[in-house]
Structure 1
């Protein structure tokens, strides 16, 4: 059932983005009386799953879910329809329209992608508000949750003050900001110091454990007790360990440290069970472990325990507009930084480029409209930015040629455009193979 939910979200999001992107080309084409021969969701290589002709346009669904397209008359595109281009230009064809109209048609898809993302963020701000954790709430500092965090110089208990000179207000912004930064100002043991990050920081993160490298310090919550554990039937699921041998263990890292220092011993423990403190005798094995799988806490539980106070902002209809726009701009800038890192081989970010499986994996296995719309908005920004890249066969490539024509007054020859389209198509196939090849490599080798 989980795979069905993930697949449903993936296909719904992808279909929505493709249809709206192509509508961005379709509508201005119609406004400027340019004939659209086909409007397809997915590619109809050899045959279609569904097709119906209405007026001059054939609408359909292809069998190959790698995107979608509109076929505009008199335009050199992926169809490479040389026969049509060899005939005299017709008034309804793309090539017969003024350059400014052709430019609007080509920019329509990207425009819709960006507008859609901003509309979604505005709607989410209005419907869900904004829950976040102030960085100042981490009074006992961060938790280093992987060896990557240690390699970058972080230690559990560090307080992150600023990244690249920018003061941190919200803790949820920290991991992404660190990824694309050069340094961080921290407080450790009451002293300020600067951590300088390596240029291949992203590569280190990609090669590390598949989990965040820093996070919140939280109590040790019992998830499951191993059948072979000496603490079976002593510790119960949802128990929270408050102290060991009278030593307060507010956080799970403190429990871990105590256990490692007291291997193969029976110790007194106090746990919180059903909101009551219970005294127990627990056994630490020879590996310095309790023989349990840890669990997690909800936001309400964090607040009830007095660990962190989360902030929630609610917005009226008109208040949601600037908030949503700010979120959209932030995501757009953030994705721009990611692309910049990808095209810099020194960062190793290109190793994290993924294809359709990577997109599929970001959807959760349980249905959440809030998560769905958040992912869809981000994918819409990614699709818009990618289509703006100056690569022939992408919208950005067509835009570059149109701008050249408008500035120079000279239109590139059809032969040149055909060759450029072929080069762009080969480049896109190469990028597609690389991205999906990365997915396969990670699936096989686990990284």
Structure 2
């Protein structure tokens, strides 16, 4: 067993900080937080045909309206990520959840495209910091060698949000309209905020407790050094390609299943959950494998970087194989595997950067990574919209092939660049 692995255990014993029931209660609340977050995001994808018909939008216009969600998303992620190194994450998360509910209200009440876009811009600004701050809050309850499972569970909230929301929101949309679905997710956000105000708390491994001497308790490096490291660059590049798949699933997959592959609207509302379920299995499998490897003394270069690269590589292979098969069933299966595995990199990204950055720099490092990565959400919906307008249903398949190429690039970046132990040990420039 390595010093890097044993040091957190020794520190945990010396400080008296242990992750008990409270840690898992907070982690559970943060899983629900991410569920609500992605239920918010999924409404537009589930109601794509209804919104386009109601507002008479082309595919390009609808793609641009979805891209507007990410207009301030990345800026807010970076700004609040840096702020979370100084302000307690508990209050930042509470503020975000309240703003989510407020942001849904204008479009839920009515109005045209301008109101819809304005609401989405506000919602994007409020949701941009959600994932990095939620991960920072969860990981602050655990030392490095125990972070794979809570990190995976918070990421799993993304999947559970879509899986649980898709059937219910699809029913609401078809029976009561897409604006009613906005009221549903607004109420969910308000209820979570109430629970978090009572039960939420910050962990003992945030900034006040010493951690592993090799990484966690090193002298504070500058943000420039962290963000310029090969590990941060490789992790961010790989995560960007993974988030591209996430954006594609959120915005265009229901339409692809219905309009491109011929599934009924009801079936599409159910099938859309499958790649998220595939991603959930990959997340849990990755967390278990990575945790086991690290407990045996395997470096993060292999346990995180190369395991994550393998996920992206498998996703790329499935996406690129799409033109080689015939039939809606076979294409749907490859789509599920390709986008599901391709979108399963977030836990690798978050735990890798959390290992690289000490507690006092962790929020900024995670937030800046998320800000960079989520520009994929700004670009992907508009690009796919243009492909669909210009190529018809064939544009959907072209979009999946483009995702496969990007995932190959991401796998290469993760395989060759990620090594947090190496980069954390570098002397300051």
Question: With structure 1 as the length reference, what TM-score do the two structures score?
Answer: 0.24
Question: Which of 1 and 2 has higher RCO (CA within 8 Å, sep 6+)?
Answer: 2
The structure that is helix-richer by fraction is: 2
Q: Name which one, 1 or 2, has greater alpha-carbon Rg.
A: 1
Question: With structure 2 as the length reference, what TM-score do the two structures score?
Answer: 0.25
